[in-house]
Structure 1
Amino acid sequence: MSEKLSIDEQMVPFKGRNRLKQYLPKKPKKWGYKLMVLAGSDGIPHNIEVYTGKVVQPTHLVDIGASGNVVLRLAQPVPQHKNYKLYFDNWFTSVPLQLELARQGVHCLGTVRSTRLPGSSMVSDAELKRSGRGSFQEKTAVVGNTTLYAVKWYDNRSVTLLSDYVGAHPVTHVQRWDRGSKAIIDVPCPAVVRDYNQHMGGVDLLDSLIALYRTKIRSKKWYHRLFFHFLDMIVATCWLLYKRHCRCNNLSDAEVMRLYAFKSYIAQGLCKSGKSLEKKRGRPSGGISSDYETKKRQGPTAPIPIPDVRLDATAHWIIMSEKKGRCRVPGCKGTPKAKCRKCNAHLCFTSTTNCFLKFHTE
């Protein structure tokens, strides 16, 4: 689990009839099932909760309101007193939540609504706007052993953030386009804003990866959409773990497999690995589907199957094709008629050369 973690809402697109369906107008997919997800800043999820309406808070957790209770339930796998940091938006953030997380030894940062800062008189939006772009105000409060930092910053509009471990300083600069001068200018940016923008997007990153190649299967059963969404989430998570492993082994970006190829390899492995190609028992299906198969256009070369299929030692039989083909073993220049029925690859099989055995064992 990475040190920087974010909690956010995730939508499973669905427009059918079901009492669990929600409407979130600010999401790219506005209709669907709502999930609450705890994910690292790298997009790897660690805890999920499906929104089903009112939830009774477990007895071992403090009850601090509906939004705060969601964070406490999702944050249970986070190690306590290990300087882990949680990020969330203004629907979750409140002073009682931050105090409870601080008691557990988990730091947190989030945008906050002004109505959830009791006794705090922050400057108005109009006054910050008159002060200029990049102006901010910081206020601190000490509650027990916890120091809370509330920072209100004005960029295109004002935003207020609440944290128990970082405040406005040190102040850096970010580049923004100024319509008045028609040029890029430097705008002062508090440290709390920079930290929030840098680590809050873990759930959004996971959403974007799932949406790239989402499994689209029409069904009247409402739970199928959740099931296939979780499958897509598993594949995206595995790819993120694979990328982390590649970085640890100092592989370049060109050597890392893309998500599309990664998902295709998984599909090919599940469909062919360890399985025979024998026809199923029973009456053959009618129609002209078999005729279509014979008319499919063949490419210049058959692709080499993935290692999970090539080395599974199941249903690899030699057949003789009508035309010769280049042997698929690297370094062999033979053009045999023999080929593997399952791998659809031409391979030499003579008294002097056994590329068939080499192809399926090495």
Structure 2
Amino acid sequence: MGIVIMPSYKDYWSTSYRYAKIADIMSLKRFQQVRRFIHFIDNTQADLSDRYYKLRPLIDSIRNQCLSVEEENAFSIDEMVIPYKGKKAGSRRQYNPNKPNKWGFKNLVRAGVSGIIYDFMLYGGDDTFRGIHFTEEEESLGIGSKVVIALCKTVKKKASTIYFDNYFTSLELVYILRENYGLFSLGTVRQNRLKDAGNKLVSEKILKKKGRGSFSQVVCNENKISVVKWFDNKQVTLVSSYTDAYPLEKIKRFCKESKGQVDVTCPQIVKHYNRHMGGVDLADMLISLYRTGIKSHRWYMNIFSQLLDICINNAWLLRRRHNKMKHTVPLKDGLKKFRYEVYAGLLKRDRTAAVTQTESVSENKKIKKPVAERPPDEVRFDKFDHWPQLSGYQRCKYCKTGQASTLCTKCNVHLCYVKNRNCFLAYHVKQ
């Protein structure tokens, strides 16, 4: 349903728009029954103080799987909006006018440059940091800085680098990440969070007079923090604990006056930020390509569908990473094709193939009192790992007249497998 989207889920079963790849799996009433009764926790044993108790077991399970993935050494932290316009979620639903999906749940994510999501936490107001302990120094920080610290507690590789935008950044956060957690960091910062460093930087008016590419820098060697203000179309201020403006590089920008590309001086800190900050945005873009839409009055179903898409996208990105490490010849392995492979695999896994059973051996020709030892019925009819293998001719152990060269590797018996008689199939099917 994420690939082939229709206005209503009932259209997949309708006479005019019927889509066989969905309608042939189950009936409409069965699908509606599953939608109605799907549930993730026993309400009588739930912790009602948890704002997301309806999904907590599922959230913890998927989060633990994300944490088990082998990590990169550069991460970006940002918020991901789970679209939801209903009003039954109460204050869990947030409004952000600067996002494409303005209404929805706020999911705070730590992702790699590749787009793989390694950790996440749903925003729940005062209940956001459930089960997470902070020091007194960390408690004094704002909610944005506490989100970064909470997501960085699960980073396995020390000396990794964390990137975030101005919603999260503060000078205290950059210092604590390096001193207490051994993590480097880089982020854009708001002017009102620079403290004394803001007074030592050149004003935007002076930078604008100097032209595009001009910058101003302040470095604190004692706390190992650098602050750089750079002017392009407008000013941007960045703070880092591992790099500064040097070495300078040249980048191409379009100039209205000359109506062409011109070289603009770019500090090194800006290059690092632009190169590594887009991990969460990439993950969000991949989810939006083939979003699993579940329209329901229950607010938590939208979060459930988002978690499903996170799992699928992580799996696809991990397979691409694996193929790259093994130097496998790259195939046309798009996300759409991968989603279809998941569909096809789940459809056939642990299900019996549709085989038309034909009785080719009459009752009077079956071996009813076998002399040779037969495997127990629990093994014979378990439909697992009964592979045919060519062997020398022996009498068939199912019919009285056949000479068989096909051996069952699990039951270790010879069975006919010829054009007009399939004793191999009949032997393993319970009558």
TM-score under structure 2 length normalisation: 0.63
Instruction: Give 1:24 shift.
Output: 1.4
Q: Given that residues 274 and 313 in structure 1 are in contact (C-alpha distance below 8 angstroms), is that contact kept between their aligned partners in structure 2?
A: no
**Range with bigger deviation, 179-188 or 134-143:** 134-143
Answering whether residue 209 of structure 2 is matched by residue 130 of structure 1, we say yes
Give per-residue Cα distances to partners, 1:205-260, cap 9 Å, x unaligned: 1001111100012111100000010000000000000000111122344x142111
1:83 maps to 2:159: yes
Equivalence for 1:34: 106
SS at match of 2:147: helix
Shift of 1:54: 2.1
Which residue does the alignment assign to 1:201? 278
Q: Give the drift of 1:195.
A: 0.2
**Equivalent position of 1:270 in the other structure:** 346
Greater C-alpha Rg: 2
1:3 aligned onto 2:73: yes
Tell me the alpha carbon deviations over residues 304-357 of structure 1, each in whole angstroms, 9 at most, x when there is no partner.
xxxxxxxx968xxxxxxxxxxxxxxxxxxxxxxxxxxxxxxxxxx853999x99
Task: Mark the CA change 1:313 to 1:177 in structure 2 (over 3 Å): closer, same or farther.
Answer: farther
SS at match of 2:125: coil
* 1:2 Cα offset (Å): 0.5
- The Cα shift of 1:185 comes to 0.4
Aligned equivalents of 2:315, 2:240: Cα separation in 1 = 32
Superposition map of 1:202-281 within 5 A: 202-253=279-330, 255-276=331-352
Unaligned runs of 5+ in 2: 1-70, 355-381, 385-416, 426-431
Distance in 2 (alpha carbons) for counterparts of 1:154 and 1:92: 22
The 5 Å alignment of 1:152-163 reads 152-163=229-240
Show CA shifts across 1:269-317 (max 9, x none): 2122221378xxxxxxxxxxxxxxxxxxxxxxxxxxxxxxxxx968xxx
1:117 and 2:117 aligned: no
Aligned to 2:221: 142
**Contact 2:122–2:128 at 8 Å: present in 1 too?**
no
Contact 2:121–2:128 under 8 Å retained in 1: no
Between the aligned partners of 1:95 and 1:272, the Cα distance in structure 2 is: 54
Q: Whole-Å Cα distance in 1 between the matches of residues 325 and 319 of structure 2?
A: 10
Counterpart CA distance in 2 for 1:109 and 1:33 is 26
Q: Mean Cα displacement is larger for which, 27-36 or 53-62?
A: 53-62
TM-score if structure 1 supplies the norm length?
0.74
Correspondence list, 1:33-52, <5 A: 33-52=105-124
Output the aligned Cα RMSD. 2.3
Cα distance in 1 for residues equivalent to 2:304 and 2:279: 22
Higher percent of residues as helix:
2
2:247 to 170, 175, 183: 170
Identify which of 258, 264, 273 aligns with 1:181: 258
Runs of 4+ in 1 over 3 A off after TM superposition: 55-61, 349-354
The one-letter code of the counterpart of 2:281 is: D
- Paired with 2:133 and 2:288, the residues of 1 have a C-alpha distance of 37
In structure 1, runs of 5+ residues without a counterpart are: 279-311, 315-348, 358-362
Q: Equivalents in 2 of 1:252, 1:59: separation in Å?
A: 46
